[in-house]
């Protein structure tokens, strides 16, 4: 298999503000796997708060033996790339994605069938990033009541945003704090105000190291407390089963479709809710993630709507549902902005 | 039929420079037609060089009797909106588009079947806007030799761009001057240099009023000279049959699928080539235009790739081909950025 990889900078439609800081771009690596006239694609997304970066992804990919890969069946190929080096989750996710794309295309089936999953059928949340009172109220009002909103919090705008959220009375939203609250008391107070405003769940209210405070919040809060920054793989689910009431699964964090599925089984065992998420990614990686829709109760797949130079076409957003194109593989096709 | 219309500003990924000036946005009007649980969509695009604007489109739409429209079959409805007022081509295009979407959805067929046309199968040109030597060379080099490029010219950058075009030796391109050359001699000289660099056609080299100079250029130039700003409807094709060797057909200029088809018949009669074009439009209007692909030799359907807040999903760009989703109607579905 010929492996080509290239850096590609995704540009946001507008400055993206979350608790971890604001930015206008996200570095990614796009890769293609080609063999026997089948071309398959994968993407690693590398926001600045990850330990991986484009160089580490390209270095990982250089270690992969394409000749070896083409002699392996799908399960062996998956195991080979996952065991090749430790960590490197985003790099592995890109390659795992492309491998699934290649093998599903070769079998002329969609990726969810290759993974023995049901056909995806889901609605996505739509992200509202951090803003002041007017910006937040305006953004919430722009969306139909039927749209599930994911509102970013965790900054000095929280009080303004809380007032706007209460004022808007949107019936269907959750809040992602990105570890932005700094104490149990702050989290407890804000969580209760959000509950009164109709919020259904809170993602990562507290920093990763505040495990006891998070466990206490889980006990005392009326809302489902979902781990994002705290959880990468199955080992973390096991470790945090009494700390959070749900987990956010992302391919970039766990490194493969297979690990994502394993995490969802574990979550079920521990009665935890599952949110299927994405980072700043193009249509390629989000379409890939959509094949996992049946493993989750909640879906956060709107990343491509925030990107102004998306090099792939794929899932379609109809009202708040996502739909896969009826083609084999991941179902994402490079468009004229594709940099190879 | 309930008709809803709303202004929507398309934002470009980057400043769009053509001979008529540079800009970052284009005003449009999005409209929906709903009746019997079928919702259909249309879009008018209103670049600043047109006489229509968002207000004139909204005023036209206010005159349309939705109740009357729902009692009419498709041909009568088409005739009714086209004869309701003079001119208002972009407004009529939006409504004509939505009517075709509605009637095709009701019959559960794609729009090209409603229009008795063959299934679209085409490659689109990709636009390179005006730039200096380095920008132009860089943009051309970014695209595979198989991509048809449409290079915008007609400014004080022409000499730099001509050098870059010759240097790049891209095998597959045409040039759109947007009426930016000011004399027969300038057009003659630049056309010959472009011919030597491999150019296959020139769009609108001279201003609309320079009819004799254009006719002379057509006689003396080795390149196909295609009318854009000079031609709106069939009457113009008739008038300019000896002045240009081809025409650019756009829904926003001619006002309906039916007039576009009539223009292509006339072009065939006069041995003129047909370019099917689009303005700054979202995926909705460009997907609608794609249903007309079989009437043209050349296709210029890349507008959505330049838009950062596209409120519709629809055609997919695979390498340089465009593909319609296999659903009825136009095949464009509103996404979460849709403003209704």
ipTM rounded to 2 decimals? 0.74
pLDDT of residue B21: 84
pLDDT of residue B103: 98
Q: How far is A187 from chain B (nearest CA, A)?
A: 30
The minimal CB distance from A126 to the residues B309, B316, B336 is found for B336
Sheet holding A38-46, edge to edge: A2-18, A21-35, A38-46
Query: Which DSSP helix (H) or strand (E) runs through B43?
Result: strand B38-46
The least confident of A7-21, B57-71, B125-139 is A7-21
Q: Supply A284's token pair.
A: 């390629």
- Please answer yes or no on whether A142 and B318 come within 8 Å at the CB atom: no
pLDDT of residue A319: 74
How far is A248 from A264, CA to CA, in rounded Å? Answer: 10
pLDDT of residue A16: 87
How far is A46 from A252, CA to CA, in rounded Å? Answer: 8
Q: For residue B57, give the nearest of B9, B1, B95 by alpha carbon.
A: B95
- Please answer yes or no on whether B334 and A319 come within 8 Å at the CB atom: yes
How far is A307 from A329, CA to CA, in rounded Å? Answer: 23
Is the pLDDT assigned to residue A293 strictly greater than 80? Answer: yes
DSSP A289-339: HHTTGGG-SEE---GGGGBSS--EE--EEETTEEE--SSSBT--EE-TT--
- Please answer yes or no on whether A305 and B333 come within 8 Å at the CB atom: no
Confidence of residue A339 (pLDDT cuts 50, 70, 90): confident
How far is B315 from B321, CA to CA, in rounded Å? Answer: 10
Residues B202-228 have a mean pLDDT of: 97
The minimal CB distance from B336 to the residues A11, A302, A323 is found for A302
Average pLDDT, chain B: 95
Is the pLDDT assigned to residue B57 strictly greater than 90? Answer: yes
- Please answer yes or no on whether A313 and B318 come within 8 Å at the CB atom: yes
Percent of chain B with pLDDT over 90: 92
How far is A128 from A17, CA to CA, in rounded Å? Answer: 9
Residues B158-168 have a mean pLDDT of: 97
The tens digit of pLDDT for each residue in B296-330 reads: 999 999 999 999 999 999 999 987 799 999 899 99
How far is B160 from B268, CA to CA, in rounded Å? Answer: 36
Is the pLDDT assigned to residue B87 strictly greater than 80? Answer: yes
Return the number of other C-beta atoms located less than 10 Å from residue A243's C-beta: 20
pLDDT of residue B50: 85
- Please answer yes or no on whether A317 and B336 come within 8 Å at the CB atom: yes
Confidence of residue B20 (pLDDT cuts 50, 70, 90): confident
Residues B125-129 have a mean pLDDT of: 93
Residues B69-74 have a mean pLDDT of: 96
Q: Identify the structural domains of chain B with CATH numbers, from first to last.
A: 2-114 (3.30.390.10), 122-334 (3.20.20.120)
Is the pLDDT assigned to residue B214 strictly greater than 80? Answer: yes
pLDDT of residue B170: 95
Return the number of other C-beta atoms located less than 10 Å from residue A48's C-beta: 11
Is the pLDDT assigned to residue A336 strictly greater than 90? Answer: no
The minimal CB distance from A326 to the residues B326, B333, B336 is found for B326
Confidence of residue A184 (pLDDT cuts 50, 70, 90): very high
- Contacting B with CB below 8 Å, chain A residues are 11, 13, 124, 126, 142-143, 147, 302, 305, 308-309, 313-314, 316-320, 323, 325-326, 333-337, 339
Confidence of residue A282 (pLDDT cuts 50, 70, 90): very high
- Please answer yes or no on whether B317 and A336 come within 8 Å at the CB atom: yes
Is the pLDDT assigned to residue A262 strictly greater than 80? Answer: yes
Q: Is A282 helix (H, G, I), strand (E, B) or coil?
A: coil
């Amino acid at each position: 298999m010929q492996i080509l990889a290239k850096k590609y900078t995704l540009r946001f439609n507008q400055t993206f503000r979350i608790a971890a800081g604001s930015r206008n771009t996200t570095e990614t690596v796009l890769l293609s796997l080609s063999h026997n006239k089948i071309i398959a694609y994968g993407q690693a997304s590398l926001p600045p708060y990850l330990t991986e970066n484009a160089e580490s992804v390209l270095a990982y990919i250089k270690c992969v033996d394409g000749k070896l890969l083409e002699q392996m069946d799908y399960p062996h190929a998956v195991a080979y790339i996952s065991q090749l080096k430790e960590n490197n989750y985003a790099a592995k996710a890109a390659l795992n994605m492309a491998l699934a794309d290649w093998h599903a295309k070769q079998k002329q089936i969609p990726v969810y069938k290759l993974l023995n999953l049901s056909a995806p059928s889901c609605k996505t949340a739509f992200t509202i990033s951090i803003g002041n009172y007017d910006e937040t109220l305006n953004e919430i009002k722009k969306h139909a009541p039927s749209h599930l909103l994911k509102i970013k919090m965790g900054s000095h705008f929280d009080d303004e945003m809380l007032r706007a959220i209460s004022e808007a009375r949107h019936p269907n939203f959750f809040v992602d704090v990105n570890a932005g609250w700094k104490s149990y008391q702050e989290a407890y107070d804000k969580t209760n105000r959000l509950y009164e405003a109709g919020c259904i769940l809170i993602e990562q209210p507290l920093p990763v190291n505040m495990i006891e405070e998070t466990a206490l919040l889980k006990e005392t809060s009326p809302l489902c407390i979902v781990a994002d920054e705290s959880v990468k793989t199955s080992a973390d689910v096991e470790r945090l089963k009494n700390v959070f009431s749900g987990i956010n699964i992302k391919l970039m964090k766990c490194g493969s479709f297979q690990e994502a599925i394993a995490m969802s089984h574990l979550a079920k065992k521990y009665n935890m809710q599952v949110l299927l998420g994405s980072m700043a990614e193009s249509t390629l990686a989000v379409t890939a993630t959509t094949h996992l829709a049946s493993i989750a109760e909640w879906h956060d797949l709107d990343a491509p709507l925030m990107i102004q130079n998306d090099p792939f076409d794929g899932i379609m957003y109809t009202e708040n549902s996502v739909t896969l194109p009826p083609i084999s593989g991941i179902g994402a096709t490079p468009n004229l902005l594709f940099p190879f």
